[in-house]
Structure 1
Amino acid sequence: MLPNNKNTVLLGLIISSLFWVSHTVSAACAWGVAGKEIISNISFGNVIVQRDYPAGAFITSAFTGQISGGSTLFRCTQAWNYRGVPVLFTRASSFGNTIYETNIPGIGIEIHQSLNNVPFSKPMAANASLSMPDPLSATLIKLSTGSVGAGNLTTGTLAYFYAEPEPKYRTTLALTGTNTIIPVACTLMTKTVNVKLDNAVISDFKGKGTTAKPKDFTIDLNCDAKTKIKLSLEGTSAGPAGVLALTAGKNQASGIGIQILKGTQVVALGKQLNFGTANAAGLKQLALTARYYQTAANIESGTANTTATFTMTYN
């Protein structure tokens, strides 16, 4: 019987010891003014994503209000770690372990608490308290080159900010509402734009730098609503700004080039022009003008053909 008594006493001591340790840890932290966990919500709403945003580009951010102002959220009497961890989206992207993939292909998210990006862990001294005078925030980031997926972001708890080893003492950031990713871009209505200038005679020109026979034309696009449109012109320069050299060939004219304008603005080669935003889905016409430009003191008659490449970007 004695061995059984010894086992009984030993078991009782183990239970008492475990109970004492558990009681000590649970008393290490206490709530501040709020007296409970604070849950803060953010929402992005409708998010327009231009197709040609580069990978890694900022898309938009959402912020909470102040979490506690200068008031204490909780305090711990023992040394502790202040941790921020992701909850809803936890798969790290190729841009690093603070930017996570969302449920929408090509869209990432980064979560911030002041200067800290989630995840983080900061050692805190005994009797240190936590307050959050600044808002919590989250940023959407484009992860892919080219187009991204479309649809609604999954909602739920984005992150916990808590005391370790007392995780019940925490603040929560949640994504709520409807948050819709809307990718936008344009397509060309025709791959080639042919512009035929009227015939000109040498007497139409008055000297180097003069112009003649302007002809308006459009580049026609079919655009999604809210697409931001930019255009750049590439080609062989004849020297002066925005003047294209003539294409080599038989019976080619000399002493002139072709200049492209947007309104009264010369379209410099290789420079982006902003054509604004397509307010509604459908046809968007980019209005331009081509004209002859005298590049030399003497002009010789002949054909005047040139080619140029227009590059469209949506960012």
Structure 2
Amino acid sequence: MKNVKLKLASKISIGLLSLISFNAFALVNCQYVGSVREGSESVSFGDIIVQRDAPVGTVLASINMWQRFQSRGNIADCPRTGGYAALLDVGAEFTRVTYSGQELFESGVAGVAIRVRAINTNRMPRTSGTWCSVATTTSRYCARSSWGNGAGSNTIELVKIGRTDSGLIQAGEVMIRGFTNGEGRVFTSNLTPSKITTVACSVSNPNIHVNMNEARATDFRKSGGTAGKTDFQIDLDCDASTNVNVTIDPGASGAENAASGILKLDPTSGQSAAGIGLQILSHDVPVHLGQRMRIGTTSVDGNYTIPLQAQYIQTGTDITAGDANASATFTMTYQ
């Protein structure tokens, strides 16, 4: 029987405008409760690794802002007749961007946006008339519920909205809590810069030709028998922390059995072999053709190898000698 050649070719998958301004210094008609005064905090997403092929819409990082704020207790008493409401907004340094019908904010890194969830919406500014208690002439606002109630009511998220680059997330006032009617702010969350790194691999050998080990008809005993196992590999050059996945699809001749990784032989101009197929394996386990296979995560920058195997497999009752060529494609994804 002649040598079988497996030819593999790669393909790589690849608002509202606010007219409300804050007085940044002090309340005017409302009064802070006890020793409470205007406060602030710094928050950070930390450095983030983004897989190049992570689906659009993926939440890359999230911070529960309500959990951090609610412990401040009672905040201020406001006149009941003044039409005051708790107000949430985002600093003017963040530019609004629309994604899938939502109002998000540019992060400073292409393909990544900031979503501010406040009182169960992503549109800012947002007001709430919720108070914690009332007296004869005043309404008391508290951190626990006036600016949101529960983790889902105050969060900031980094969301993938397109093909991502690497870079620094913009710093700024990512959540401002205050009052309407020009009363000013009570607490500001300042987002500090953090780094986004998008990782992926490049294929070093996009066209792989596998010279199969020799096999004879007498090497096969029955349907399902195998012979001629041959090692080959896909070589990559990767960024560290890349999640590597590969999908192997049948070539033009299709699959004899996709779940068992068996390719049909390609027709030739000469005598074609019959009764056998070519099976692809990973660590001696048949590869499910057409199904994404998780390989692993790279630990360092540089070379990364995906070891594979191919072997003949008897698919019919009888075997006819002849040319036995097969082909497949592989698709790399990083997510």
**Would you say same fold, with TM above 0.5?**
yes
Change (3 A) 1:277 1:61: same
Is the 8 Å Cα contact of residues 62 and 155 (structure 2) preserved in structure 1?
yes
Aligned counterparts of 1:128 and 1:244: Cα–Cα separation in 2: 72
Aligned residues: 287
Q: 2: distance between equivalents of 1:165 and 1:172?
A: 18
CA drift at 1:224? 0.7
Task: State the Cα RMSD in Å.
Answer: 2.2
Sequence identity percentage: 28
Shift of 1:34: 5.2
Q: 1:138 aligned to 2:142? A: no
TM-score, structure 2 as length reference: 0.79
CA-to-partner distance for each residue in 1:47-86, whole Å, 9 max, x for gaps? 1111111222221223455313271122323242222212
Displacement after TM superposition at 1:32 (Å): 3.1
Aligned to 1:284: 304
Query: Could you tell me whether the CA contact under 8 Å between 1:234 and 1:309 is conserved in 2?
Result: yes
- Structure 2 matches for 1:49-88, cutoff 5 A? 49-64=50-65, 66-69=68-71, 71-78=73-80, 79-87=83-91, 88=93
Cα distance in 1 between the residues matched to 2:35 and 2:198: 41
1:136-215 matches, within 5 Å, as 136-144=154-162, 146=163, 148-176=164-192, 178-215=193-230
1:306 and 2:322 are equivalent in the alignment: no
- Aligned mates of 1:298, 1:75 — CA distance in 2: 90
Q: Which amino acid aligns with 1:160?
A: I
1:41, distance to aligned residue in structure 2 (A): 2.0
Q: Distance in 2 between matches of 1:299 and 1:168?
A: 85
Q: Paired residue for 1:101?
A: 106
Aligned counterpart, 1:274: 294
Using the alignment, how far apart are the partners of 2:62 and 2:157 within structure 1?
A: 4
Of structures 1 and 2, the one scoring higher in RCO (CA 8 A, sep 6+) is: 2
Q: Which of these two proteins has the greater Rg computed from alpha carbons?
A: 1
Q: CA deviation at 1:306?
A: 0.7
Secondary structure at the counterpart of residue 311 of structure 1: strand
CA drift of 1:297 comes to 1.1
* Native 8 Å contact 1:84 1:118 kept in 2: no
Distance in 2 of aligned mates of 1:197 and 1:33: 82
Q: Which runs of 5+ in 1 are unaligned?
A: 1-24
Structure 1 residues 229 and 164 mapped into 2: Cα distance closer, same or farther (>3 Å)? same
2:242 pairs with 1:237: no
Give 1:278 shift: 0.9
**Correspondence for 1:90:** 95
- Give the unaligned 5+ runs of structure 2: 1-26, 132-137
Residue number in structure 2 paired with 1:221? 236
